[in-house]
Amino acid sequence: MRRRHLLAALPLFGLAACQTPAAPPPPQTVVFFNADSAALDDNAMTLIAAVATRAKASPAAPVRVRGFSAPDGGSAAFNRALAEARAQNVADELAKGGVDRSRIRLEPRGAVPFEMMATESRRVEVLIGQ
Query: Which residues touch 32 (CB under 8 Å, ≥6 apart)?
Result: 44, 119, 122, 123
Dihedral sign computed on CA atoms, order 45, 32, 105, 52: positive
Find, among 13, 21, 45, 16, the residue nearest to 32 by Cα.
Answer: 45
Strands of 63-69's sheet in order across:
28-32, 123-128, 63-69, 104-111
Q: What is the pTM of this model?
A: 0.78
Residue 124 burial (CB < 10 Å; 0-12/13-18/19+)? buried
- Check pLDDT > 90 for residue 42: yes
- Strand 123-128, strand 28-32: pairing: antiparallel
Going by pLDDT thresholds of 50, 70 and 90, the confidence category of residue 117 is confident
What is the CB-side half-sphere exposure of residue 130 using CA atoms within 13 A? 12
* Whole-number Å distance between alpha carbons of 59 and 36: 33
104-111 vs 63-69, strand pairing mode: parallel
pLDDT of residue 26: 54
Domains, the chain, ordered by start: 25-128 (3.30.1330.60)
For the segment 5-38, what is each residue's pLDDT rounded down to a tens digit? Answer: 444 444 444 444 444 454 444 568 999 999 999 9
Q: Which residues contact 9 (CB under 8 A, 6 or more apart)?
A: none
